[in-house]
């Protein structure tokens, strides 16, 4: 197994540890979860770059890399919806999940036609922005809860009620835009008569 695929597998293996530390209320658990998520995000940045630069692109990597990204991001967003510390509606999560199912379906149709659906710039942008948003939320949770900084209630209200929801909705908008671009680009593969 080559290095990019090992990095992708490492990202998959980090997901349960991220979830463990989000729920296991040990000291500095948010900070540890942040470190795990950040490490997983770094593997996402590295695996594709290494695979392309060293000509190590494999079918295994094409399959697992986008799947690992989706599971990592959806795991974090699902935990956020469930938490009292983060004011996130389930609506963005549903939209993001629906887009991921749609793109996966398009990839299946494309593969059946012998076409490889490469990640476009909008898909990469939405993944990067969403991961940075999640890291920001985790850093805020760690700052307030793990390190016990005395943050004024007004600052809490602004971050919790305005900044975090706005970042989540920007991620959702980028997700919708990238999904629409994929759909437009591969619409010809969808035959409504079959």
Q: pLDDT tens-digit profile of 103-151?
A: 888 877 777 666 666 677 888 899 899 999 999 999 999 998 888 777 7
pLDDT at 12 exceeding the cut of 90: yes
pLDDT at 65 exceeding the cut of 70: yes
Q: Using CA atoms, how far apart are residues 106 and 109, in angstroms rounded to an integer? A: 5
Q: Higher-confidence residue: 104 or 178?
A: 178
Q: Mean pLDDT: which of 48-57, 94-103, 114-123 is highest?
A: 94-103
3-state secondary structure of 4: helix
Radius of gyration in angstroms for the set of CA atoms belonging to the chain, rounded to a whole number: 18
Domains and their CATH numbers in the chain: 3-189 (1.20.120)
Q: Using CA atoms, how far apart are residues 89 and 92, in angstroms rounded to an integer? A: 7
In this structure, of 23-27, 128-132, 147-151, 164-168, the range with the lowest mean pLDDT score is: 147-151
What pLDDT does 99 receive? 92
What confidence tier does 191 reach under pLDDT thresholds 50, 70, 90? low
Mean pLDDT of the chain: 87
What pLDDT does 193 receive? 63
Q: pLDDT tens-digit profile of 70-82?
A: 999 999 999 999 9
Q: Which two tokens stand for residue 95?
A: 């939209």
Q: Which whole number is the average pLDDT over 146-170?
A: 87
Q: Which whole number is the average pLDDT over 27-39?
A: 96
What pLDDT does 136 receive? 95
Q: How many CB atoms lie within 10 A of CB 65?
A: 24
pLDDT at 192 exceeding the cut of 80: no
Whether residue 114 contacts residue 141, with contact meaning beta carbons closer than 8 Å, is answered with no
What pLDDT does 153 receive? 83
């Amino acid at each position: 197994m080559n290095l990019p695929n090992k990095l992708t597998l490492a990202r998959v293996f980090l997901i349960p540890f991220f979830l463990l530390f989000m729920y296991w209320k040990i000291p500095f658990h948010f900070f540890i979860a942040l470190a795990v998520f950040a490490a997983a995000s770094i593997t996402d940045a590295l695996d594709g770059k290494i695979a392309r630069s060293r000509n190590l692109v494999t079918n295994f990597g094409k399959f697992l890399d986008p799947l690992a990204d989706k599971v990592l991001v959806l795991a974090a967003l699902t935990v956020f919806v469930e938490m009292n510390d983060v004011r996130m509606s389930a609506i963005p999560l549903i939209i993001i999940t629906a887009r991921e199912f749609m793109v996966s379906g398009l990839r299946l149709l494309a593969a059946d036609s012998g076409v490889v659906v490469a990640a476009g710039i909008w898909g990469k942008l939405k993944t990067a922005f969403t991961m940075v948003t999640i890291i920001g939320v985790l850093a805020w949770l760690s700052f307030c809860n793990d390190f016990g900084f005395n943050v004024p209630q007004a600052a809490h209200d602004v971050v919790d009620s305005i900044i975090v929801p706005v970042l989540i909705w920007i991620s959702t908008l980028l997700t919708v835009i990238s999904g629409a671009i994929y759909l437009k680009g591969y619409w010809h593969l969808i035959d409504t008569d079959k």
